[in-house]
């Protein structure tokens, strides 16, 4: 189980060594955190903590992974050890930085990490205490033992190869209009990678913003993936963030080991690669 309800936070955090993370992205991420967050939560910034942005998005996309040692240092400052239970949420119903933080923790081998279904909205609706107080990061801490990213990723060359190989399935989790080439609000051009199928990440949630149950997710993806082994599945989005939401959904459905294309559309669309602009 990787996903919990807001109603489970109190019991889970009372079990001992627990750290709660509020992960947000965007230029105003810290301002939004300061406006209100779950009491006791520590702030993590997608733009600076969970990414190491290159000068040009053509080289790794808009949110490339930071060096694993940098992430290990951050975990130490947050007070996270391999034995810590980590609860993470964001203000996008768990679909953005929370899912990315979950993936990165899993990718360094951390076991006990849980994403709050529905995010901050669910926390507020549950009546949990929301605060404007900020906690300081630790100045003395043990190093987190992370040497490499352990979960599978693929690069531009591998996705190029897979795009014409029927043994692979490339999942584009962006909204349908971006995949179809109708318009593109962030990157330079709309469209999709040849051969990619569109399974928007929003479909992992119900109308209330909560994740679908593990059973429903399992049925949904079993039908969509048509028997492809996880190692032949590549998941991407615009910049490698909401793709983690679908990887979380897959994991919850019992489908582990799918590949993250970190560079995603932001890299592909800037490298003179073929682009499909019609379904």
Residue 152 has pLDDT above 90, yes or no: yes
pLDDT the model gives residue 140: 86
CATH class as words, domain 153-268: alpha beta
Q: DSSP for the chain?
A: --EE-GGGHHHHHTTSSEEEEEEE-STTHHHHHHH-EETTPEEEETTTTS----SSTTTT-SSPPPPHHHHHHHHHHHT--TT-EEEEE-SSTTSSHHHHHHHHHHHTT---EEEETTHHHHHHHHT--EE---PPPPSS-PPP---S--S-EE-HHHHHHHTT-TT-EEEE-S-HHHHTTS--SSSSS--B-TT-EE--GGGGB-TTSPBPPHHHHHHHHHHHHTT--GGGEEEE-SSSSHHHHHHHHHHHTT---PEEESSHHHHHTTTT---B---
* 3-131 matches 153-268 in fold: yes
pLDDT the model gives residue 111: 94
**Range name among 10-14, 161-165, 170-174 with the lowest pLDDT average:** 10-14
- Return the CATH number of the domain spanning residue range 3-131: 3.40.250.10
pTM (two decimals): 0.96
Query: Which active-site residues does the annotation give?
Result: 237
Q: Provide the residue ranges of all domains of the chain, joining segments of one domain with +.
A: 3-131, 153-268
**Per residue in 104-115, pLDDT tens?**
999 999 999 999
């Amino acid at each position: 189980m990787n996903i919990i309800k807001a109603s489970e936070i109190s019991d889970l955090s009372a079990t001992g060594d627990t750290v709660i993370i509020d992960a947000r992205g965007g230029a105003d991420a810290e301002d939004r955190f300061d406006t209100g967050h779950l009491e006791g939560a520590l702030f993590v910034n997608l733009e600076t903590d969970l990414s190491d942005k290159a000068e040009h998005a053509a080289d790794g996309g808009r949110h490339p992974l930071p060096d694993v040692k940098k992430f290990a240092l951050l975990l130490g400052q947050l007070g996270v050890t391999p034995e810590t239970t980590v609860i993470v949420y964001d203000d996008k119903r768990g679909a953005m930085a929370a899912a990315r933080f979950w993936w990165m923790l899993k990718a360094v081998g951390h076991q006990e990490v849980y994403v709050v279904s529905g995010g901050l909205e669910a926390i507020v609706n549950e009546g949990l205490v929301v605060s404007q107080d900020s906690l300081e990061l630790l100045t003395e801490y043990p190093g987190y033992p992370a040497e490499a990213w352990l979960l599978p990723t693929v690069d531009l060359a591998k996705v190029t190869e897979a795009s014409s190989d029927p043994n692979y399935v490339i999942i584009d989790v962006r909204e349908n209009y971006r995949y179809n080439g109708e318009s593109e609000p962030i990157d330079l051009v709309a469209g999709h990678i040849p051969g990619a199928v569109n399974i928007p990440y929003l479909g992992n949630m119900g109308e209330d913003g909560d994740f679908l149950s593990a059973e429903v997710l399992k049925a949904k993806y079993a039908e969509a993936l048509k028997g492809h082994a996880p190692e032949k599945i590549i998941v991407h989005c615009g910049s490698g963030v909401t793709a983690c939401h679908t990887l979380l959904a897959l994991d919850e459905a019992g489908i582990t080991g799918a590949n993250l294309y970190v560079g995603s559309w932001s890299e592909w669309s800037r490298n003179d690669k073929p682009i499909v602009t019609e379904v």
